[in-house]
Amino acid sequence: MDEDEARERLKARLAELDAQDRAGEDARAPVTLQQDSVGRLSRMDAMQGQAMALATKARHDAERLRIAAALERLAESEWGWCLTCGDEIAEGRLRHDPSVGTCVTCASGG
């Protein structure tokens, strides 16, 4: 994968994350207590749904940080090289996720 393709894929993924977060805004909203119309179990379900939506948002934020770091490495011509050992990251690994910053050996703790 060349740098231009990686850059385009990373930017496209950012757009996907933004769209998913916009779609999930209502699910992350505070759950209000409506004792007259919503039972306790329904409120608990709503709170669980909210917690899952907040966890999804947190994962998206972490992925955004990885993508931003990868875009910065692309700008500095350092993309595709392991941040830990300095070796080249395998083509297949970069094709799977262009935001990775480590080779398989370093990612697995070896």
Domain ranges of the chain: 3-77
Q: Both tokens of residue 25?
A: 């805004």
CB 95 within 8 Å of CB 71: no
- Condensed to tens digits (0 to 9), the pLDDT of residues 69-89 reads 999 999 999 999 999 999 999
- Condensed to tens digits (0 to 9), the pLDDT of residues 44-65 reads 888 898 899 999 999 999 999 9
Which helix H or strand E contains 72, and what residues bound it?
helix 40-75
Q: Is the pTM of this model over 0.75?
A: yes
Cα 75 from Cα 50, distance rounded (Å): 37
The position carrying tokens 């262009």 is 98
Write the burial class of residue 6 (CB in 10 Å: 0-12 exposed, 13-18 middle, 19+ buried).
buried
